[in-house]
Amino acid sequence: MFENIVDWIREYAENHGLETLVVGVSGGIDSAVTSTLCARTGLRVIVLNMPIHQNKTLDSRSDDHINWLKENFINVESQKIDLTKTFETFSDCFKEKDKNNLSLANSRARIRMTTLYQISGANAGIVVGTGNKVEDFGVGFFTKYGDGGVDISPIADLMKTEVSELAKELGIKKEIIDAPPTDGLWDDGRTDEDQLGASYNEIEKAMMYAEKNGLEDFYPTGDEKFDSTLNIYFSHRNRNLHKMNPIPMFKKEKTCSVQ
């Protein structure tokens, strides 16, 4: 599969006259897999570590993976841009903080997105997304116009378990594969499971069940444990559909004229 994805990335870039692939590397498995797939294209790849009050472990894993990429692929370049002061300046502009700090947490992702597009625009490139299918099309666990703001999404049709299998095939470091997934947007180090209320494996099973049965909302199955996960899946999905659906647009009727 990874060879097919590599070919797809390369062909897309070449068909659109693009010279550079730009990827944000967080220290997690999704960005590690995506950046490695990009590196295998042979195209110029710029990988970025963009810490904002970053957890030291995540920051270290990101640096380690970037160093591994540069040791193994001569087409990979890197930049480390500490955005902590940028974020602090931004957050200091607001006298009233949001109750749960979610907006500010999402602002971290949006500041990183802006940085990726600055690097991309300056290098005739595109921003490569790192989201998987569960995040991007299942529960919508991403920041709108943050890590969701990308040009192409090479692994967005892959379940989390498939990403893990790809990581092993690609030789990604074990500490990255085994690390608890986290979006890295919170100072307290909360994991994705802490935020979602279930593991990716559990949510993946719920997602596959819903797709197989054509469900658009929660209906109990009688299995208490599975129903709990299924309810979690639909709770997140329904709340986040606005991220996954096209932007609502008013359409004038044929009989309507604009003067």
Given this model, what pLDDT does residue 98 score?
Answer: 67
How would CATH label the architecture of 2-184?
3-Layer(aba) Sandwich (3.40)
Given this model, what pLDDT does residue 184 score?
Answer: 86
Return per-residue pLDDT of the chain as tens, 259 residues.
899 999 999 999 999 999 999 999 999 999 999 999 999 999 999 999 999 998 888 889 999 999 999 999 999 999 999 999 999 999 988 867 666 688 999 999 999 999 999 999 999 999 999 999 999 999 999 999 999 999 999 999 999 999 999 999 999 999 999 999 988 888 888 899 999 999 999 999 999 999 999 999 999 999 999 999 999 999 999 999 999 999 999 988 766 565 5
pTM for this one?
Answer: 0.92
Domain ranges of the chain: 2-184, 197-248
Distance from C-alpha of 78 to C-alpha of 54, rounded to nearest angstrom: 18
Six-digit token string for 136? 């991007």
Given this model, what pLDDT does residue 97 score?
Answer: 67
Given this model, what pLDDT does residue 137 score?
Answer: 95
Given this model, what pLDDT does residue 27 score?
Answer: 92
